Amino acid sequence: MSLALDLFSLVAIGAGAFFFFAGTVGLLRFPDSLTRLHALTKADNLGLGLIVLGLLPRAGSLLDALRLIAIWVLVQLSGAATAQLIGRALSPRRAAE
Amino acid sequence: MNDALLVAAGFILLTVGAGLVRVLRGPGDFDRMMAVQLLGAGGVASLLLIASATTVAGVEDVALGLALLAAFASIAFVNSAEADGAEPLEGEDG
Amino acid sequence: MSILQVLDLGLAILVLAIAGWTIAARELFASVVGYVAYGLLLSIVWIRLHAPDVALTEAAIGSGVTGVLLVTTGARLRGAGGVETAAPPRLSQRLMAGALAVLVAAALAAVVLLLPEPAPTLAPEAREGLAATGLGNPVTAVLIAYRSFDTMLEKVVLVLAVVGVWSLAPDRCWAGAPAPLGRARPEGALLFLDQALVPLGILVGVHLFWVGADEPGGAFQAGAILAAMWMIVMISRLTEPPRVGARWLRLALIAGPAVFLATGLAGGGMAGGFFAYPAGFAKPIILFIEAFLVLSIAVTLPMLVAGPPRRSPQS
Amino acid sequence: MSASTLAGLVGAALVGLGLYGFIVSPQPLRKILAFNLIGNGAFLVFGIVARKGAAAGFPFDPVPQAMVITGIVVAFAASALAAALILRLQEETGNVLLDSDAPAKPPGDEAGAS
């Protein structure tokens, strides 16, 4: 049982790390700001989400698990709102160019 | 298992750290901010991984605080970057 | 070399690289963005030093609020037409500054490498004090009990800083409100954050205050989080910085040090020593003091960022 | 090399970097930033003193850690005061550069303004 859980953790954390990698590559290689924003939002949503998912079986108590989920929700909220703000600020500039 | 967690933490730190090249290169202020946002998410992720592997007590709360403050800094940056040049902050002359 | 050592080395290189960038960057904004990233990495270093309390304070005040202070001030300077270009110093000056910097860094590095083993420590004394307070977090116990006088004076320093900032106001604006932190138009996404993130953040702040007795957290960290939440609401223009003449504001600013000092004096009368807490009641008294400290910090930090009053009290 | 020694060396290097920036940068806000780098470096050196002082069942000496926490808050208060002074300086003189080579601007009529 614990082996299966460990395996689950490893797969989820590995997948999360991959999304961070992909997001960074996108941030560095994509040609303009809006596409970079696209890459960034995928990375912090899914990357952190999968890492949290992978760490959940290792949480000591229910409170710890809830705290992990709360961390993810916080990053989600701020990420979504900031991406919206950045996107809004970028689009008129791009149209003007 | 712990080693695997540390490897993952190091890998994530390294990648988002490489993303900081965007802070150097820009070109715009928003590109710089995006790199910091990615670092915020990646930093929280690797903090959680390191905490889980090295058993320092109470690190979840630190991650909670980091997540909130990364959001706060991003909002303040968007706010100041937008105010850049085009429109001075209101009420400057009292 | 173990994985952990490789990780530490990578972290150290990243921290130094981004710190170098904040010094080398041409623009202020780029430099401050780098500084906030650096602060995030630095708090991971603090975790590696087994100092979660410091990590949280560093992330909150050292990088978060300081970064916001710098970008806000930068935007205000630009808004007022501040000139920010200057010829870089001459090569000879830079070389001399560099030599001095290398010398100081090398001396410090030598100190670090030559630290005595085992290092002198006050941990046993702190452990003794901890048992008397009933707290579980030694850092909180040191701050509020073992070295309480230092902490109380440090709160007074914060009040003095606010007084210093306010006294830079033009005469006609005295007792008025500082300039707004945000732009004129509130944005939908910011209002969403006010409704979703800020209540959660306040909850986290209260949580950090409450667990601070036994786990990492405490008055400084909780106050800084609450301050950040208030500043988010001010940036979205749902509320404005208050008039500095407002009575509630002044009471909130001094509540922390005042309650701290009053409790310390009461200890002189009732527990037989200045800043002594009566046995058995130490923990509730400490939490009582801390609650007021949280309030004062949560009010002080935004007022320091908002700056001196810029509007006449009538407007 | 242990994690704490490495962190202490990083602290020493940060003090050096900050000192260089503090001297060289002509923009006062950048000087505040460099001042904060110096502070962070000093705190880190303190942090390894705390870590090496592990005793009595604690993984660290809580006294230096508590002092670092108060230090971070005081450094912020000093930065805020400096930022307010810079804004005021700009209002009075229209210039915020602290360049020793530049000719000093003659003071205007601000003698009694503040």
Here the ipTM equals 0.86
Given a contact cutoff of 8 angstroms between Cβ atoms, the answer to whether B83 and B89 are in contact is yes
Domain that holds residue B19: 2-82
CA A3/CA B57 separation, integer angstroms? 25
Share of chain B above pLDDT 90, in %: 0
CA A54/CA C91 separation, integer angstroms? 53
Q: Considering its fold, how many domains does chain A have in total?
A: 1
pLDDT at D114: 38
- Asked whether the predicted pLDDT for residue D98 surpasses 70, the reply is no
- Asked whether the predicted pLDDT for residue C273 surpasses 80, the reply is no
Q: Which of B23, B39, B59 to mutate against chain C (most C CBs within 10 Å)?
A: B23
State pLDDT tens for residues C135-185: 778 888 787 777 778 888 888 899 999 999 998 888 888 878 888 887 766
**B61: chain C residues, CB-CB within 8 Å:** 52, 56, 207-208, 211, 215-217
All domains in chain D, ordered by first residue: 3-95 (1.10.287.3510)
Which distant-in-sequence residues (6+ apart) come within 8 Å of A18 by Cβ?
Answer: none
Tell me the whole-structure pTM to 2 decimals.
0.86
pLDDT at C164: 92
Nearest by Cα to C315 from A24, B91, A34: B91
Token code pair at residue B39: 């670092």
State pLDDT tens for residues B32-67: 888 888 888 888 888 888 888 877 777 888 888 888
Which distant-in-sequence residues (6+ apart) come within 8 Å of B53 by Cβ?
Answer: B2, B3, B5, B6, B9
Given a contact cutoff of 8 angstroms between Cβ atoms, the answer to whether A69 and A52 are in contact is yes
Given a contact cutoff of 8 angstroms between Cβ atoms, the answer to whether A52 and B41 are in contact is no
- Asked whether the predicted pLDDT for residue D96 surpasses 70, the reply is no
Q: Which of B89, B90, B92, B93 to mutate against chain C (most C CBs within 10 Å)?
A: B89
B50 belongs to a structural domain: yes
Question: Does residue B27 have a cis bond before it (omega within 30 degrees)?
Answer: yes
Q: Considering its fold, how many domains does chain B have in total?
A: 1
Residue written as token pair 């407002």 = C246
Position with higher pLDDT, A1 vs B16: B16
State pLDDT tens for residues C106-125: 998 888 888 877 777 777 77
- Taking the CA of residue A68 and the nearest CA in chain C, the distance in Å comes to 13
- Taking the CA of residue D35 and the nearest CA in chain C, the distance in Å comes to 11
B94 belongs to a structural domain: no
Nearest by CB to A74, from B8, B31, B67: name it: B67
> CA geometry: angle at D48 spanning D43 and D49, to 5°?
90
**C78: chain B residues, CB-CB within 8 Å:** 83-85, 88
Average pLDDT across chain D, whole number: 79
Token code pair at residue C284: 């509730």
For residue C214, the one-letter residue type is: D
Find the DSSP H helices in C143-281: 148-166, 188-211, 219-235, 247-270
Token code pair at residue A60: 């000591």
Centre a 10 Å sphere on the Cβ of residue C239 and count the other Cβ atoms it contains: 11
CA D47/CA C49 separation, integer angstroms? 7
For residue B45, the one-letter residue type is: A
State pLDDT tens for residues C213-253: 777 778 888 999 999 999 988 888 888 888 888 889 889 98
| pLDDT range class, residue D81, cuts 50, 70, 90 | very high
B44 belongs to a structural domain: yes
Share of chain B above pLDDT 70, in %: 84
B93 belongs to a structural domain: no
B13 belongs to a structural domain: yes
Domain that holds residue A40: 2-96
